[in-house]
Amino acid sequence: MCGIIGYVGKKKNAIHVLINGLKALEYRGYDSAGIAYMENNKINIIKEQGKIKNLEEKIDFKIKSNLGIGHTRWATHGKPCVINSHPHKVGKITIVHNGIIENYEELKKILIQNGYSFKSETDTEVICALIDKLYNEKNDMIQVLDKCRNLLKGSYALGIINDDQPNTLYAIRKDSPLIIAIGENENYISSDVPAILDYTNKYILLDNNEIAKLTDSKIDIYNINNEIITKKIKTFEWNIEKTLKNGYDHFMLKEINEQPEVIKDTLLPYISNGYKSLLNNMPCFKNYEKIDIVACGSAYHAGLIGKYLIEKYADIPVNVEIASEYRYKKLFINNKTLVIIISQSGETADSLAALRKAKEHNIDTLAIVNVVGSSIAREAKDVLYIKAGCEIAVATTKAYSAQVAMLGLIALNIAKSKKKISNQKIDNFIQDIDTLINEMKKLLKNENYLKIAKNIYNKNNLFFIGRKIDYALAMEGSLKLKEISYIHSEAYPAGELKHGSISLIEEKTPVFAIVTDKSIAEKTISNIKEAKARGAEVILIITDELDREADFYDEKIVIPKINDLFQPLLSIIPLQLISYEVAKLRNCDIDKPRNLAKSVTVE
């Protein structure tokens, strides 16, 4: 969600770096893009609505520049259009911004009283005018940015250029991500690592309220007291090859196919010595009597699977909540509660706020995160990293599966720490990993997905049903389909359909029915028959142990039965791949669906 890139240095042409960087940040989601670059001590700004290629068409790449900032905007204040796009310039100050300023209307009034006028509807232009006003008063950018951070309420990552300093780039952040990347005689700022991986893998994480001053040869970071501090230089481990498509048509397809490897990488460090490895490298779960799992979107769906597994094996209650609700509701927690926050990006604003709320109540927090060093990873008491690697497609697949795998592992660890499970049972689970990986690989190659996709890709409305863990899977299957193919779908607990929504089922309405849990299978099958009797075209996803010849389905995908912990990791694959094929048949922008952002850093 909004991407920032900035460059200062004599080795490269800033314009090229900015455009490459913006392309690498495309996955975050955007609706307009722009750059500002210094040419002969003068700032030029070029902005365009829509894709980066529209912007490229307006740029003269022969121009040489050693300083610039670029931005992909995901509209929050004001519609997507050229005027509202970044960079914004007021007086001597040009900026790009990611985040939301909550008191911008108040500030705008004061600035108007001071003679400023505004062209756009954005909060960003207000920040720009504010910095310009403060600079006219103080003439010292560090003092100006210090004052600015006291006046701005909300979240921001800012890249800033001052007309008076044609070789200097400033940055500041609060609650929106920003890194400072280090080159030789050149330096960068960026929202995320992929934008700079072509040039360097060395970076510094800018912390909240820190100010960065970058020239080609020097980076100064100032803390809240305006003292220069030394920051740890980090090395990014994911390499650029791994972030490329590797011959797949889309990142999403590549990432779906990476799942067997990702699951292995995520689980192995914790189980290499069978049941004896459990409880190592994990927080101590012994004293918790209740767990709140908090997340958004697919991470929330992974949390629902975690609930079933933890309740079943560890025998403690688990409450799963959507972060945007949790952050504002009354919490029923005490010192025997653990709050688990799940987030691929580690930057989701609502999940971060939920984490902070739990911390304000002095509750222990555990983050399950993919992006190393992200805000949620840093702020939680404990963190367990999934090993999904860089996920570029906006619709999550491999990170979701890795979250589910990690929650299964947590269920085993809690069960062991509470003596609810035998060592033999743990080893049985662990021994199934090879089978899991092999079966995942086979399911990825199943050829029926395209056939099913061809039957449903021109429908307007469909359902996903299941019970218990299969309902949690239905929710994820439904989200995957709607976000990338734009077909409306709803997920329902199979037994709930007849309490209202079954009235939407008509002749040939597709209904995906997931049946993997033996304990409830016959009940789900009765519900499938109810839908079928009303004309539904049923696509059954069923385990081999429950499979049967029958007339209550039209299409069937049979998946191998494995233990409960790993079953969802098999069941989700057909749902992901059918969604992918449907979106492809509908010519959708699969990796960057409309209106969506990879990292939702606003509330």
Residues of this chain that interact with ligand F6R (CB under 6 A) are: 296-299, 343-345, 348, 351, 395-396, 479, 483, 599-600
Using the minimum distance from each CB to ligand F6R, give the nearer residue, 182 or 263.
Answer: 263
CA distance 1 to 4: 10
CA distances from 130 to 44, 143, 335 (A): 21, 13, 44
CA distance 474 to 148: 47
CB-neighbour burial class of residue 225 (10 A; exposed 0-12, middle 13-18, buried 19+): exposed
CA distance 527 to 547: 16
Which residues face 220 on adjacent strands? 213
Q: In angstroms, what is the minimal distance from the CB of 366 to ligand F6R?
A: 15
Q: Residue holding tokens 């539904």? A: 536
CA distance 23 to 591: 13
Q: In angstroms, what is the minimal distance from the CB of 204 to ligand F6R?
A: 22
Strand-pair category, 154-162 with 537-543:
unpaired
CA distance 14 to 8: 7
The residue type at 452? I
CA distance 266 to 252: 19
Apex 441 CA angle, 438 and 443, nearest 5: 110
Length of the chain: 603
The yes-or-no answer on residue 598 being catalytic is yes
With CA atoms as reference, report the closest residue to 339 among 348, 323, 328. 323
The yes-or-no answer on residue 119 being catalytic is no
User: Which residue blocks in 57-157 are alpha helix, DSSP H?
Assistant: 104-113, 123-138, 141-151
Token pair belonging to 132: 């310009």
Q: In angstroms, what is the minimal distance from the CB of 256 to ligand F6R?
A: 12
CA distances from 216 to 94, 122, 187, 432, 474 (A): 19, 31, 6, 53, 52
Q: In angstroms, what is the minimal distance from the CB of 569 to ligand F6R?
A: 16
Residue 83, CB-side half-sphere exposure with 13 Å CA sphere:
8
Measured from each CB, the residue nearest to ligand F6R is 297
Using the minimum distance from each CB to ligand F6R, give the nearer residue, 12 or 28.
Answer: 28
Using the minimum distance from each CB to ligand F6R, give the nearer residue, 44 or 345.
Answer: 345
Cβ contact 145:95 at 8 Å = no
Cβ contact 96:71 at 8 Å = yes
With CA atoms as reference, report the closest residue to 219 among 208, 207, 231, 227. 231
Question: Annotated catalytic residue: which of 47, 174, 387, 598?
Answer: 598
Question: Taking the chain, what is the end-to-end CA distance rounded to the nearest angstrom?
Answer: 11
CA distance 560 to 435: 10
The residue type at 570? L
The residue type at 543? T
CA distance 235 to 356: 27
Strand-pair category, 337-343 with 32-39:
unpaired
Catalytic residues: 2, 598
